[in-house]
Structure formats: structure tokens, C-alpha cells
Amino acid sequence: MRLADFIEHNAPRILDGAVAFARTQAPAGVPFSEKELRNHLPEILKAIAGDLRMPQSASQQHVKSEGRAPVPEGPESAAT
């Protein structure tokens, strides 16, 4: 199974885990509601799966692995 397929197939479980993790990472005194924590996570997972399906060269993979991917054009997304 490809990673993008795994993400899409297991999105609800991944979302539950991400919400639980986010609660442990919130800055002190900054409360997040369940709704706030779940607001953008499905869009982020969808963007990740879509990006994984995009063909890319070895050079592009290397740049992205170092966090130097080009900034996408258009409106800012939840994943951005």
C-alpha cells in the first residue's frame, strides 16, 4: 500500500492521534477546543496525500526532504 493511500484510508484514526498530540504541544495558557484542533487537519492530510502522488525528480525530493520546497502559488492552505 502506498503512503498516500494509507493516509486516506486511515484519516479518521490519524486525525484522532493528531488531535491528541496537538493537545500535548499547545503553548501554556492557550486552550484549543476539539473543534479548533480538528478544523484544518483533514485538509492537511488531503494536501499531504495529494503531494505524495505528484511525480517529482530526485532533486525535487531532496530539496523537499530538507524543508526547502517551493512555496505553492495561490491562496494559503491549511497545509501551508
- Upper half-sphere CA count for residue 34 (Cβ side, 13 Å): 1
Read off the pLDDT of each residue in 15-37 and give the average, rounded to a whole number.
83
- The cell for 2 is 502506498
pLDDT digits (tens, 9 = 90+) for 29-52: 777 777 877 888 888 899 889 888
Averaged pLDDT score across all residues of the chain = 85
Share of the chain above pLDDT 70, in %: 95
With 0-12 / 13-18 / 19 or more C-beta atoms within 10 angstroms meaning exposed / middle / buried, residue 45 is buried
78 close to 44: Cβ distance less than 8 angstroms: yes
